[in-house]
A and B are shown apart, each in its own frame.
Chain A
Amino acid sequence: MPGVPTDGGAVGTVVPFSREPGDAVAAPPVRTIRHGVAPPVSRVYVSFSSGNLLQVACLGPPIPEGGGGRGAQEVAVGRVVEVNLGGGGSGPGGADVEEEIDEAEMRRIQYGSVPAFALLQSRKNALADAAAMSRVPSVSEHAEWWQYVLEYSKTIGSLLGNPDSLPAFMIDDPKTILKDREKPTSLKASWELLEIFFVDKQLKSWLPERFVDWLADYDSLLTKTENTVYRTLTNFQKKLINLQIVEDDPDYWNGLAAALSVGWLDIVVNMLRFHGSYQLDQMDNRETENGLVEAVAVLVSTMPRMRPDLPTGKLGHCCKTRPDFIKALEKWRGQVNKLECSAFWIQCGHQKTRDGLKNLLHIMLGNIKNLTAATSHWLELFASHFLYIRPFTVGFEGMNHLAQKCIQLKPSTDNSGLTGLLGGILSENPEVVLAECTKSFGPWMVTHAMELLTADNDYADMMLHEERPNIGGISLEELHRLVYAQVLCSHSLTWQIAPTYLSSCLNQGLGLLEILLLKQPIQDNRLVLKTLEICRLYELGNVSTNIMKIGGIYHWKHGRKGTGVYWFQQAHDKVRLDRIALQLFENIGKSVTDDSFKKWEGLLELLGSDIGSAGGLEFLHRYRDFKRSLQQAQEGRTGESARQTVEFLIQLMRNPSTPQRFWLPLLHDSVRLLNCKPCPLLNVAETTLLLNKLQELSMAKLRPDFSNINLPNHALNSVRLALASNLARAILEDP
Chain B
Amino acid sequence: MADHSSFRRHPHPFSVDLVRWLPTFGSTGRLLAAAVHDPAASSSHIHLLSVSDPSTPLTSLPLPSRATALRCSPSVLAAATTSGSLHLLPSSFDTDSAVSVPSGALFHVGPVRGLDCGGGTGGEEWVTAGEDGRVHVVAGGGDGRVVARRVWEGKGMVGYQAARWASPAEFATGGAGCGVQWWDRRKGDAVVVQCKGIWGHGIVTGMVHSIDIHPSRKHICVVGGSSGTIFAWDLRWPQQPIPLSGVGLDGTAQPVCESEVWEVLFDNYTQSSDIISSASTRILPVMMCSEDGILAVVEQDERPLELLVEPCAINSFDIDPHNPSDVVCALEWESIGVLARGRDTMADE
Interface, chain A (partner B; CB < 8 A): 51, 86, 103-104, 107-108, 111, 114-115, 491-493, 496, 524-525, 529-530, 533, 536, 555, 558-563, 565-566, 569-570, 572, 599-600, 602-603, 605-610, 613-614
- Tell whether A602 pairs with B207 under 8 Å between CB atoms, given A559-B156, A562-B158, A563-B176: no
| Least Cβ–Cβ distance between A144 and chain B, in angstroms | 24
> Which B185-199 residues sit within 8 Å CB-CB of chain A?
194, 196
Report how far A686 CA is from B177 CA in the complex, Å. Answer: 37
Asked if B111 and A525 make an inter-chain contact with CB atoms under 8 angstroms apart, the answer reads: yes
Asked if A108 and B334 make an inter-chain contact with CB atoms under 8 angstroms apart, the answer reads: yes
Give the contacting residue for A111; candidates B39, B176, B196, B333; CB below 8 A: B333
Q: Which residues of A contact B204 (CB under 8 A)?
A: 569-570
Q: Which residues of B contact A562 (CB under 8 A)?
A: 133, 154, 156-159, 175-178
Report how far A572 CA is from B159 CA in the complex, Å. Answer: 19
| Least Cβ–Cβ distance between A560 and chain B, in angstroms | 4
Asked if A602 and B203 make an inter-chain contact with CB atoms under 8 angstroms apart, the answer reads: no
Q: Which residues of A contact B125 (CB under 8 A)?
A: none
Q: Which of A114, A562, A566 counts the most B-chain CB atoms under 10 A from its CB?
A: A562
Q: B324 at the A/B interface (Cβ < 8 Å)? A: no
> Which B151-201 residues sit within 8 Å CB-CB of chain A?
154-159, 161, 175-179, 194, 196, 201
Give the contacting residue for B196; candidates A51, A86, A566, A608; CB below 8 A: A608
Asked if A51 and B194 make an inter-chain contact with CB atoms under 8 angstroms apart, the answer reads: no
Q: Please encode chain B, from 327 to 341, with 1 for each CB lying within 8 Å of some chain A CB and 0 for all others.
A: 000001111000000
**A559: nearest chain-B partner, CB-CB:** B156
Report how far A560 CA is from B202 CA in the complex, Å. Answer: 22
Q: Which residues of A contact B110 (CB under 8 A)?
A: 558, 560
| Least Cβ–Cβ distance between B209 and chain A, in angstroms | 8
Q: Please encode chain B, from 203 to 227, with 1 for each CB lying within 8 Å of some chain A CB and 0 for all others.
A: 1110100000000000000000010
Q: Which residues of A contact B1 (CB under 8 A)?
A: none
Q: Which residues of B contact A524 (CB under 8 A)?
A: 82, 111
Asked if A108 and B131 make an inter-chain contact with CB atoms under 8 angstroms apart, the answer reads: no
**B259: nearest chain-A partner, CB-CB:** A533
**B190: nearest chain-A partner, CB-CB:** A598
- Tell whether A563 pairs with B13 under 8 Å between CB atoms, given A86-B40, A533-B292: no
> Which B4-38 residues sit within 8 Å CB-CB of chain A?
11, 13-15
Q: B147 at the A/B interface (Cβ < 8 Å)? A: no
Q: Which of A491, A493, A609 counts the most B-chain CB atoms under 10 A from its CB?
A: A493
Q: B234 at the A/B interface (Cβ < 8 Å)? A: no
Q: Which residues of A contact B155 (CB under 8 A)?
A: 559, 561, 599
Give the contacting residue for B311; candidates A114, A560, A565, A605; CB below 8 A: A114
**B159: nearest chain-A partner, CB-CB:** A563
Asked if B203 and A610 make an inter-chain contact with CB atoms under 8 angstroms apart, the answer reads: yes
Q: Which residues of B contact A570 (CB under 8 A)?
A: 204-205
Asked if B154 and A529 make an inter-chain contact with CB atoms under 8 angstroms apart, the answer reads: no
Asked if A493 and B312 make an inter-chain contact with CB atoms under 8 angstroms apart, the answer reads: no
Q: B319 at the A/B interface (Cβ < 8 Å)? A: no
Asked if B196 and A559 make an inter-chain contact with CB atoms under 8 angstroms apart, the answer reads: no
- Tell whether A560 pairs with B207 under 8 Å between CB atoms, given A111-B334, A565-B177, A600-B157: no
Shortest beta-carbon contacts, A-B, top 9: A104-B13, A602-B158, A111-B333, A566-B177, A603-B157, A563-B159, A566-B176, A562-B158, A560-B156
| Least Cβ–Cβ distance between A557 and chain B, in angstroms | 11
Q: B291 at the A/B interface (Cβ < 8 Å)? A: yes
Could you list 11 examples of A-B contacts with CB < 8 Å?
Answer: A108-B335, A493-B39, A525-B111, A525-B207, A560-B133, A562-B175, A563-B159, A599-B155, A602-B133, A605-B178, A605-B194
Asked if B205 and A608 make an inter-chain contact with CB atoms under 8 angstroms apart, the answer reads: yes
Q: Which residues of B contact A525 (CB under 8 A)?
A: 111, 131, 159, 161, 176, 207
**A119: nearest chain-B partner, CB-CB:** B311
Q: B313 at the A/B interface (Cβ < 8 Å)? A: yes
Report how far A608 CA is from B259 CA in the complex, Å. Answer: 23
| Least Cβ–Cβ distance between B43 and chain A, in angstroms | 12
- Tell whether A561 pairs with B156 under 8 Å between CB atoms, given A108-B11, A533-B291, A602-B133: yes
Q: Please encode chain B, from 299 to 315, with 1 for each CB lying within 8 Å of some chain A CB and 0 for all others.
A: 00000000000011100
Q: Which of A572, A603, A606 counts the most B-chain CB atoms under 10 A from its CB?
A: A606
Q: Which residues of B contact A566 (CB under 8 A)?
A: 159, 176-177, 205, 207
Q: B318 at the A/B interface (Cβ < 8 Å)? A: no
Q: B116 at the A/B interface (Cβ < 8 Å)? A: no
| Least Cβ–Cβ distance between B274 and chain A, in angstroms | 34
Q: B132 at the A/B interface (Cβ < 8 Å)? A: yes
| Least Cβ–Cβ distance between A27 and chain B, in angstroms | 28
Asked if A563 and B131 make an inter-chain contact with CB atoms under 8 angstroms apart, the answer reads: yes
Q: Which residues of B contact A115 (CB under 8 A)?
A: 311
Asked if A610 and B11 make an inter-chain contact with CB atoms under 8 angstroms apart, the answer reads: no
Give the contacting residue for A608; candidates B202, B226, B334; CB below 8 A: B202
Q: Which residues of A contact B334 (CB under 8 A)?
A: 104, 107-108, 111, 493
Q: B260 at the A/B interface (Cβ < 8 Å)? A: yes
Asked if B158 and A603 make an inter-chain contact with CB atoms under 8 angstroms apart, the answer reads: yes
Report how far A599 CA is from B312 CA in the complex, Å. Answer: 40
- Tell whether A536 pairs with B39 under 8 Å between CB atoms, given A108-B11, A569-B177: no
Q: Which residues of A contact B226 (CB under 8 A)?
A: 529
Q: Which residues of A contact B11 (CB under 8 A)?
A: 104, 108
Q: Which of B13, B204, B333 counts the most A-chain CB atoms under 10 A from its CB?
A: B333
- Tell whether A569 pairs with B203 under 8 Å between CB atoms, given A560-B132, A562-B176, A563-B176: yes
Asked if A613 and B161 make an inter-chain contact with CB atoms under 8 angstroms apart, the answer reads: no
